[in-house]
Amino acid sequence: MPDARPGTVLVAGATSAIARAVAAELARRGHALVLAARDLAEAEALAADLRLRHGVAARAARFDALDFASHAAFAAELIAEGDGLEGVVVAFGWMGDAERARHEPDEARRTLDVNFTAVVSLLTPLADHLEGRGAGFICVVSSVAGDRGRQSNYVYGAAKGGLTVYLQGLRNRLFPAGVRVVTVKPGFVDTRMTFGLPGTFLVAPPERVAAGIVKAIDRGADEVYLPGFWRPVMMAIRAVPERIFKRMKL
């Protein structure tokens, strides 16, 4: 059910490679964009790029995921502006150092705060706005790491798993209002998070993942794995009984 004129979309965490590719895909379809990131200079470069290549309205906004106190005002300002917000893409996240997160409470908490708490904090006012509007979408980049806790990065996995559950509930709540909630679970994508990381395979270019994300938003998909082969892979990983899984080295 596409709107007559594509509305404004907020991309939070706009400097990630996936976010950049999603923003470009949305701009190609004529959406106006607000690119929110901690690094305002980078967000401004990205906004200028979208304006020049696609002729859409795009602007940068400063947003710090860990500055929880600022989230309500940030959301309020966006909602008040123009004809409001049609969609939200949340693409910020932080893998951190898995080994440190195992042993250092501060590192563990930071991993949970960026990947879970901050997303919930930002989406709370925006979800209310979209519910009132009676249309629109919320698309959040979660991770296959949230499908099952593994010793290699379970703190990050726990944050993403919690996020996936939060989005299930949000989807359930917003369905009657006609607001789509899309959970994206990318596998390995060619971004700064995976660059030079040992043990990655079948790494997907961000443009391909972004095309999949925008397609998922269009058709109102609930949970998508990108690229698609990760769905059966994760299904198999989830199916291993815990009794056996705990002995495995994944």
Partner 1 sequence: MIASRAERLSGWGRHPVQECRVYRPEKVSELGEVMASPPEGGVVSRGLGRAYGDAALNPGGTVVSHLRLNRMLAFDEAAGVLECEGGVSLGEIVDAFLPRGWFLPVVPGTRHVTIGGAIAADVHGKNHHRDGTFGRFVDAIRLVTPGRGMLTCSREQEADAFRATLGGMGLTGAIVSARLRLTRVESAWMTVDQLPTRDLDDALARFADADAGHRYSVAWIDALAKGRALGRGVLMQGDHAPASAAPAKATRRTVRGVPFDLPGATLNRFTVGAFNRLYRATHGARTGAMEPLERFFWPLDAVADWNRAYGRRGFVQYQLVVPIDRADALASVLRRAAESGRASFLAVLKRFGPAGEGILSFPMAGWTLSLDFPVASGLTEMLREMDRTVADAGGRVYLAKDAMLDAVTFARMYPAAEAFRAVRRTLDPAGVLTSSLARRVGLA
Active site residues: 156
List, in sequence order, every residue forming a beta bridge with 138; answer none if it has no partner.
Answer: 88, 181
Question: What is the nearest approach in angstroms of partner 1 to the Cβ of residue 39?
Answer: 6
Question: What is the nearest approach in angstroms of partner 1 to the Cβ of residue 37?
Answer: 10
Tokens of 161: 């798993």
Question: CA 79 to CA 70: how far, in whole Å?
Answer: 15
107 binds partner 1 (CB under 8 A): no
| Window 37-96: residues binding partner 1 (CB under 8 A) | 39, 41-42, 45-46, 48-49, 52-53
Question: CA 40 to CA 81: how far, in whole Å?
Answer: 19
195 binds partner 1 (CB under 8 A): yes
Over 96-158, what HEC string results?
CCHHHHHHCHHHHHHHHHHHHHHHHHHHHHHHHHHHHHCCEEEEEECCHHHCCCCCCCHHHHH
139 binds partner 1 (CB under 8 A): no
Question: What is the nearest approach in angstroms of partner 1 to the Cβ of residue 162?
Answer: 27
111 binds partner 1 (CB under 8 A): no
C-beta closer to partner 1: residue 121 or 191? 191
C-beta closer to partner 1: residue 52 or 76? 52
| Window 162-191: residues binding partner 1 (CB under 8 A) | 191
207 binds partner 1 (CB under 8 A): no
Tell me the site size for partner 1, rule CB under 8 A. Answer: 16
User: Around Cβ 21, how many Cβ atoms within 10 Å?
Assistant: 22
Question: CA 77 to CA 194: how far, in whole Å?
Answer: 34
Question: What is the nearest approach in angstroms of partner 1 to the Cβ of residue 48?
Answer: 5
Question: CA 181 to CA 55: how far, in whole Å?
Answer: 28
Rule CB under 8 A: which residues touch partner 1?
Answer: 15, 17, 39, 41-42, 45-46, 48-49, 52-53, 191-192, 195-197
